[in-house]
């Protein structure tokens, strides 16, 4: 398999075609952005850490029966994936109140959400990824009712699998975002799972070990990601 043309440069990853029309290479860069690209900084080792993080968790999810786009870890910063027709919707599960939920409802950060909440956001940077719901997806034709139900089912399943892994590592999976796409009409998990798109708190200290360190200017972003990776048992190549 040979990497070919650059197809798309996103905020954190670059997407390349390959000589197989069904496969793409994702390159994880060191760029970190907030507010949909309004502030961007580079962090040494971030691309490498997130690529391994994503590969580790996607493999666990695949083993648990969640179809993912992952094919092969190619290098420190690159992974080979199936080319999906991406659904422009972000699926969020929340186990505890944080972030936009706290702002929107005026509730206390950290309260347990039982059962966990499921939110949908439209992937649209210029509109700051607005919150939407099932009826919007149907009316605007972003994804069929049936596929959206499957995305919800898979996101909750991923929550069960990953919450256990983090719990065993002394961490709380507070919330996270997943993106899905279609491969030959089958819903598959695409994009990435990493501390860029999740909230992870230390169980003892409640310290934030995710991208909120950057959003809130707390410092030590990559050190926190590496600590999480170490506790979970992720090995870097
Ligand atoms: P953004 O587009 O939000 O700036 P990234 O920098 O992460 O995000 O760019 C990666 C892009 O690749 C995203 O737009 C994502 O939807 C897309 N993508 C991720 N996985 C796949 C895949 N398997 N097939 C096609 N596109 C994908
Ligand atoms: P929120 O509190 O900003 O709504 O985010 C909830 C979780 O989803 C949090 O872990 C960050 C993640 N997320 C993204 O990574 N990208 C997004 O565009 C959105 C809306 C959420």
**Residue 155 is part of which domain span?**
85-220
Query: How many angstroms does the Cα of residue 111 sit away from the middle of ligand 1?
Result: 32
Q: What angle do CA 229, 152, 28 make, to 5 degrees?
A: 35
Question: How many Å apart are CA 189 and CA 176, to the nearest integer?
Answer: 13
pTM equals 0.98
Q: For residue 136, how far is the Cα from the chain centroid? A: 22
**Residue 22, in any domain of the structure:** yes
* 54 and 101 assigned to the same domain: no
Written as six digits, the tokens of 42 are 């580079």
Residue 98 C-alpha to ligand 2 middle, in angstroms?
10
| Closest-lying ligand 1 atom to the alpha carbon of residue 123 | 3
Residues 33 and 101 in one domain: no
Closest ligand relative to 109 C-alpha: 2
Residues 92 and 153 in one domain: yes
Residue 237 within a domain:
no
Q: Tell me: do 56 and 106 sit in the same domain.
A: no
Supply angle C-alpha 66, 60, 83, rounded to 5: 55
**Whether the CB of 198 sits within 6 Å of ligand 2:** yes
| Count: domains in the chain | 2
Q: Could you give the C-alpha distances from 202 to 103, 137, 172, 196, 199, in angstroms and in order? A: 22, 35, 6, 16, 10
Residues 95 and 156 in one domain: yes
- In tens, the pLDDT along 1-50 reads 799 999 999 999 999 999 999 999 999 999 999 888 888 999 999 999 99
CATH of the domain at 179: 3.30.470.20
Report if residue 236 sits inside a domain. no
Residues 78 and 95 in one domain: no
Tell me the per-residue pLDDT of 91-111, one tens digit each, with 9 for 90 and over. Answer: 999 999 999 999 999 999 999
C-alpha of residue 12 to centroid of ligand 1, in Å: 9
User: Which ligand lies nearest to the CA atom of residue 88 in the structure?
Assistant: 1
- Together in a domain, 78 and 115: no
Give domain status of residue 101, yes or no: yes
């Amino acid at each position: 398999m040979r990497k070919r043309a650059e197809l798309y440069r996103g905020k954190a990853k670059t997407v390349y075609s390959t000589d197989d029309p069904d496969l793409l290479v994702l390159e994880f860069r060191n760029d970190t952005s907030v507010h949909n690209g309004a502030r961007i900084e580079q962090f040494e080792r971030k691309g490498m850490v997130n690529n391994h993080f994503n590969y580790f968790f996607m493999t666990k999810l695949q083993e648990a029966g969640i179809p993912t786009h992952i094919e092969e870890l190619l290098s420190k910063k690159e992974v080979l994936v199936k080319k999906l027709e991406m659904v422009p919707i972000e699926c969020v599960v929340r186990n505890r109140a944080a972030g936009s939920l706290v702002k929107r409802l005026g509730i206390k950060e950290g309260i347990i959400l039982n059962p966990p909440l499921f939110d949908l956001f439209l992937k649209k940077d210029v509109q700051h990824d607005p919150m939407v719901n099932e009826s919007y997806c149907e009316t605007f034709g972003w994804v069929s009712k049936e596929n959206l139900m499957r995305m919800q089912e898979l996101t909750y399943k991923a929550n069960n699998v990953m919450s256990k892994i983090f719990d065993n590592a002394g961490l709380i999976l507070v919330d996270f975002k997943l993106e899905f796409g279609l491969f030959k009409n089958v819903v598959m998990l695409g994009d990435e799972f990493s501390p860029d798109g999740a909230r992870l708190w230390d169980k003892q200290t409640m310290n934030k070990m995710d991208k909120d360190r950057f959003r809130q200017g707390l410092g030590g972003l990559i050190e926190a990601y590496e600590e999480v990776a170490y506790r979970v048992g992720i090995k870097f190549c």
